[in-house]
Amino acid sequence: MALPQAKQDTTQARLSALALPQDGGWLGAARDAALGRVRAMGLPGARDEYWKYTRPAALTAPKAGTAAVLVTDEAPVFDAIDRVKLVFVDGVFDAEASDAPELAGVEITQLAEAGAADIHWAKDLYGVLEAAGQVPVERPLAALNTAAAEQGVVIRVTGKAAKPVNLIYRHVSETSDAMMHHVVRVEAGAELTLLENGPAAARLNSVLEVDVADDAAFHHVRAQGRDHDRVAATHIFGRLGTRSLFKSFTLTANGALTRNEAVLELTGDDVSAHVAGAAMGDGDFHHDDTVFITHDAVNCESRQVFKKVLRNGAVGVFQGKILVKEGAQKTDGYQISQSLLLDDDAQFLAKPELEIYADDVACSHGSTSGAIDEEALFYLRARGIERAEATDMLTIAFLAEALEEIADEALADDILSRLESWLLRRRG
């Protein structure tokens, strides 16, 4: 079926503005295949059902818009955590600003170099999980990323990493347009914590493909910076093996437009897969969490916990789906999406979905949207706590369930302190 003309035009205009890499080799082949997917699907348009609540125009335009660079003397997130730092400036790897990529049990290669080498495991992953994740719902921006990204890291984990790997995304140029594609393979029994922080660029398109083998664990904590004007589309594709653990948490404070997609395929039995997010929006802020979790094995547990604090015209979106395939018995699926609206101008749109083809499953989902609980607020004030502080306490309490999804206490405390500062900066 031919694509609508408008979609063809948008797609063609975007592709024309890109200098597509011409490297050949296995990476070149993967990119070519992805380019074919982009052409076949076309980039998202405002009429697409999957983009009903979020306008994709800024993400699909030929050029990035302008985004002021936030200047702050606040210490960066994760600064106090012992970790291996890999710095990307406007989406381009900066070796000088980075640590040596040396960590026992972890092999780290830049994507640019990986293409020239015959890294067979990466070949089986790059663009592969993304391609698999195009069914049943298309994610063309991810395919575009596979086709065009030249930056990113390729990480193989063979043991229990002693410390986290931290991808640090600095935003320096007001019109930067970044594309990064990371590939992670956590081998059987291995463990890695991956940290990402920073706004990355005026516009970011990022893809993270994660293959978690049997008995392996992958922890992911991400903070998307505090820049106000930046726009971002991110995708996480996960394939999770038997008894593996996958935990991802994202903090988004500010940002004119963010679309975070997580697509997880539970392929082995006894998997535990958690995706969570806390989003804080004040004013020109549109934040969209789109999650698709497929249970294709027995006795797996998945959790989606998304909380949004919105004020002053901020908009929150949640589209979350749990798909339980035939035979995926004893599935325990949980999904909650909630927004706290701090005034009448904020808005939350949610589309929670369950699709179940097995009979012995326990799935629950809920979505709520509400204001601060006046009874609780009065109770705190009656004990002498000022209105602003009491409101912040209740706001943090609202976010608690999402924060609890961060397993490491030091990381959780760091994120919590960011939430508290964000609120503190807004006290009247």
Partner 1 sequence: MLEINNLHVKLEEEDKAIIKGLSLSVEPGKVHAIMGPNGSGKSTLSYVLSGKDGYEVTDGDATLLGEDLLEMEPEERAAAGLFLAFQYPVEIPGVGNMTFLRTAVNAQRKARGEEELSAGDFLKLVRAKAKSLKIDADMLKRPVNTGFSGGEKKRNEILQMAMLEPKMCILDETDSGLDVDAMKLVSEGVNALRDAGRSFLVITHYQRLLNHIQPDVVHIMADGKIVKTGGPELALEVENNGYADILAEVA
Residues that bind partner 1 (CB under 8 A): 373-376, 378-387, 389-390, 393-394, 396-401
Between residues 57 and 396, which has the closer beta carbon with respect to partner 1? 396
Q: Which amino acid type is present at position 167?
A: L
Nearest approach in angstroms of CB 349 to partner 1 is: 24
Report the candidate in 226, 153, 146 with the shortest Cα–Cα distance to residue 183: 153
Cβ-based neighbours of 41, under 8 Å, separated by 6 or more: 3, 134, 138, 140, 143
Nearest approach in angstroms of CB 398 to partner 1 is: 6
Q: What interhelical angle do 25-41 and 140-148 show, nearest 10? A: 150
Task: Determine the Cα–Cα distance for residues 84 and 337; give it in Å rounded to an integer.
Answer: 33
Nearest approach in angstroms of CB 389 to partner 1 is: 7
Nearest approach in angstroms of CB 399 to partner 1 is: 8
Between residues 371 and 400, which has the closer beta carbon with respect to partner 1? 400
Q: What is the DSSP string of 205-252?
A: EEEEEEEE-TT-EEEEEEE----SS-EEEEEEEEEE-TT-EEEEEEEE
Task: Determine the Cα–Cα distance for residues 382 and 379; give it in Å rounded to an integer.
Answer: 5
Between residues 1 and 382, which has the closer beta carbon with respect to partner 1? 382
Between residues 183 and 342, which has the closer beta carbon with respect to partner 1? 342
Between residues 183 and 399, which has the closer beta carbon with respect to partner 1? 399
Nearest approach in angstroms of CB 274 to partner 1 is: 18
Between residues 55 and 387, which has the closer beta carbon with respect to partner 1? 387
Between residues 293 and 403, which has the closer beta carbon with respect to partner 1? 403
Q: How would you label 220-243 residue by residue, b for 16+ Cβ within 10 Å and e otherwise?
A: bbbbbbbbbbbbbbbbbbbbbbbb
Nearest approach in angstroms of CB 33 to partner 1 is: 47
Helices (H), 42-160: 57-60, 111-114, 120-123, 128-132, 140-148
The phi, psi pair for 232, rounded to 5°, reads -155, 140
Q: What is the DSSP string of 266-324?
A: E-STT-EEEEEEEEEEESS-EEEEEEEEEE-SSS-EEEEEEEEEEETT-EEEEEEEEEE
Between residues 354 and 394, which has the closer beta carbon with respect to partner 1? 394
Nearest approach in angstroms of CB 372 to partner 1 is: 11
Report the candidate in 187, 178, 169, 181 with the shortest Cα–Cα distance to residue 208: 181
Nearest approach in angstroms of CB 104 to partner 1 is: 37
